[in-house]
Chain A
Amino acid sequence: MNISSLMPAFVFEQWNLVPGYIQDLLIITLQIVFISICVILAVAFTTYFERKVIGYMQGRLGPNRVGPKGLGQPFADVIKLLIKEVVVPSKSNRFLFVIAPLLSLVPALATWAVIPLTDGFVIADINAGLLYVLALTSVGVYGVLLAGWSTNSKYAFLGAMRSAAQIVAYEIAMGFALVGVLMAGGSLNLGEIIASQSGGFSNWFIIPLFPLFVVYFVSGVAETNRAPFDVAEGESEIVAGFHVEYSGVAFAVFFLAEYANIILIAALTSIFFLAGWSSPFEGWTILGSESFLREPSFFWLALKICFFIFVFFWIRATFPRYRYDQIMRLGWKIFIPVTIVWIAVEGLMAWMKVGPWAI
């Protein structure tokens, strides 16, 4: 269990010679590298997972040629994309064209800084964690917008416009849903929000805040430009939308950002409404006194994230694409009123001391 007992003593002596702030810097840098690599690997296998899930839903097998059960497929795809040529359109705005994929990837990775993976492991345990999450997810739209504009193509431009209007609309509903979460959790710190839901399944916010949960998750699907909200890249109308001229690595970065955002939304939904790393069976004495199932652990968070990722793909395989005016109607005329009403209901619940406010 304890890794430090495996290290020889001289490693510790050398480590203690290093000044304190450099130690902190090294630890934080290693944590960031570790999380980034984990997210990127998770993205690779999420693409495999998506193709398998949709394959089975459509009565196909999905990828099964590269490696055992097709598990080598993501790596084959990555190598293919890496050795392709990157074509920059001659009339495009070169600098913005190259930087746009990075602008969409950076916020998707940077948000992981405040996400508590287990009880105690979080890179930056900041007080305004929820606000930080909201701020960074709203910055991600710049990548799509700039990609569409700098390509200097009408198709890409239309995709960018659609995406911007859609993200701005759904961000408001998302923000309102999070207002409900922070009212119930009583804190902006993600760790404390999880802690306030401890005590098993019945204390999770999904029960008192069910409408907000639905609004948040659907807005999350819309924010990541996934089907059925993927009008920004609607193949049937505007070819591929904002990334129509991107090829090779530049396209791979967009792809990476999209899937990193899916995993992020899945993680955030499980933290805000399903209590993140805590166990659903907390306090169940039936499971014995020393049961793994009752302990809060990373396993639970991973399970919840996988479930929500599966729901993303399930939705994609089930629903046809929304028409653009219907997207706007859903965002502005249904989700925002629902969230506002439910915040009022929550105020009433807090006043009557029911649900998470019962003492």
Chain B
Amino acid sequence: MFQTILFYVFSSILLVAALGVIFSKNPVHSIMFLVGAFFQSAVLWLLIEAEFLAIVLVLVYVGAVMVLFLFVVMMLDINVEEAKSSIAKYTPFGLLIAGLMIVELMQVIKLRSANQTLQGFSINPPDYSNTESLGSVLYTEHVYAFEIASVILLLAIVAAITLTMRKRPGLKVQDIAKQVAVDPKDRLKIIKMKSETES
């Protein structure tokens, strides 16, 4: 009962935030609404005891992806009026895609719920740990797919960093190792001398 109330509260906030993403005039406000929407979906996942997914959603999307979005959007100077004028042109196309997605989702939900009755929130045993059960599936059944995916992602980081390691000939840059290894003795000479006093 209590969980049902919470579910409706959080979903309505989620819907409001999602609408805010589309309708707010300022792109930075849109992004903050999207961050709010991610948080609400994370909370909905927490309600069905999927705490690993919920926290990873916040970690990856709110903590990294949206920060970069915000980073880019802040630097853009978007002319809202100009963007508004082209909305009418794209409306039918957008509606078509939205309709298609709704139909697809309905189909999946109908297919999934055909041979099972609706269940409440606490369907898991009390000692259920989402993190553990996810881990035990990922590292046994899907271990190859999981490892290959992680190696590809790691490779992407390494590749991106390697791209910045290029050397252009004739470029005047500081040799940082040399700068760090500077010894005060090479630059500074301390001379002992008598202090000059009056009289």
Contact = CB atoms under 8 A, between A and B. Distances in A.
Contacts of A127: 51, 129-132
Contact of B176 (A168, A172, A326, A340): A326
A127 B133 CA distance: 12
A230 interface: no
Contact of A132 (B26, B55, B67, B129): B55
**Most chain-A CB neighbours within 10 Å: which of B35, B131, B161?**
B131
B63 A126 contact: no
A142 B52 contact: no
**Most chain-A CB neighbours within 10 Å: which of B55, B70, B130, B164?**
B55
A213 interface: no
Contact of B62 (A138, A165, A171): A138
Contacts of B157: 172, 336
Interface string B161-193: 100110000000000100000000000000000
A139 B63 contact: yes
B68 interface: yes
B71 A138 contact: no
B124 to A, nearest CB: 13
Contacts of B70: 142, 145-146, 149, 164
Given A149-B28, A188-B131, A135 B59 contact: yes
A135 B58 contact: yes
Contacts of A333: 161, 164-165
Interface size class of A (residues with CB under 8 A): 20 to 34
A136 B62 CA distance: 10
Contacts of A326: 176
Interface residues of B, number: 29
Contacts of B83: none
A216 interface: no
A336 B161 contact: yes
A336 B161 CA distance: 10
A153 to B, nearest CB: 13
Interface string B56-72: 10110011100110110
Contacts of B74: 145, 149, 157, 160-161
Interface string B10-36: 000000000000000010100010010
Given A135-B58, A135-B59, A138-B62, A128 B161 contact: no
A331 to B, nearest CB: 10
Contacts of A188: 131
B59 A134 contact: yes
If over half of B's interface residues share one DSSP class (helix, strand or loop), that class is named, otherwise mixed; here it is helix
Interface string A164-181: 110110011000000000
Contacts of A71: none
A340 B164 contact: no
A267 B154 CA distance: 29
A25 B166 CA distance: 58
Contacts, number: 81
Nearest to B179: A326
A126 B154 CA distance: 29
Contacts of A160: 74
Interface in A173-196: 188
Contacts of A157: 74
B46 to A, nearest CB: 10
Nearest to A175: B59
Contacts of B129: 127
Contact of B56 (A131, A136, A165, A340): A131
A160 B165 CA distance: 26
A332 interface: yes
A132 B58 CA distance: 9
B154 A340 contact: yes
Given A128-B131, A168-B64, A145 B58 contact: no
B162 to A, nearest CB: 10
Contacts of B67: 138, 141-142, 145, 164, 167-168
Interface string B86-126: 00000000000000000000000000000000000000000
Contacts of B55: 128, 131-132, 135
A42 interface: no
Interface string A252-296: 000000000000000000000000000000000000000000000
A94 interface: no
Give the 3 A-B CB pairs with smallest separation, nearest first: A138-B63, A135-B59, A135-B58
25 contacts: A93-B28, A127-B129, A127-B130, A127-B131, A128-B51, A128-B130, A131-B52, A131-B55, A135-B55, A135-B63, A138-B59, A139-B58, A139-B63, A141-B67, A146-B70, A149-B74, A157-B74, A161-B75, A164-B71, A167-B67, A168-B64, A171-B64, A329-B176, A333-B161, A336-B157
Given A126-B51, A134-B59, 18 more contacts: A127-B129, A127-B130, A128-B52, A128-B55, A131-B52, A131-B59, A135-B55, A135-B56, A138-B59, A139-B58, A146-B70, A160-B74, A161-B71, A164-B71, A329-B176, A332-B164, A336-B157, A340-B154
